[in-house]
Amino acid sequence: MTDSVVLLAVTDLPLDLAAHEAAVATRQAGAVVSFQGVVRDHDHGRTVTKLEYEGHPTAEAVLREVAAEIAADPDVHAVAVSHRVGPLEIGDVALVAAVSTAHRAAAFAACARLVDEVKARLPIWKHQIFTDGTDEWVNCP
């Protein structure tokens, strides 16, 4: 991890948004922007009862690479990002990201880039279970 990537994990433990926000807070930061992706009860008109995330063994290395790319932005003071794996229930937090910068516009932009890149590149796949007993794998190669 670079010095400005201050918290990073792929874990089966619950994620703590406040811990990620606190990790990126610095004396120079005038803005801390955070995001949490929460398991919802529906997808494309179907009711989801639960899901499970499976991660490739390289998932943490890819997450570290993405975080380092965002942290390399000269406007970014610090980055924290974690993704959950394993079984999750509706309402559980699956992804947490936090970024600090001097000003809010840069923080919003950096956090959005971080989340978008994690979603695009992280080798973690979602197995959704629906109320009718069917299931579906999402983002699976």
Convert the pLDDT of each residue in 101-117 to its tens digit: 999 999 999 999 999 99
pLDDT at 141: 63
- Alpha-carbon distance of 60 to 43, in angstroms, equals 26
Q: What is the pLDDT of residues 21-50, one digit of tens each?
A: 999 999 999 999 999 999 999 999 999 999
> Are 39 and 92 a contacting pair, CB within 8 Å?
yes
Q: Look at phi and psi of residue 10 and say left if phi exceeds 0, alpha if psi is from -120 to 50, else beta.
A: beta
Backbone angles phi, psi at 92, to 5 degrees: -70, 155
pTM above 0.85, yes or no: yes
pLDDT tier at 2 (50, 70, 90 boundaries)? low
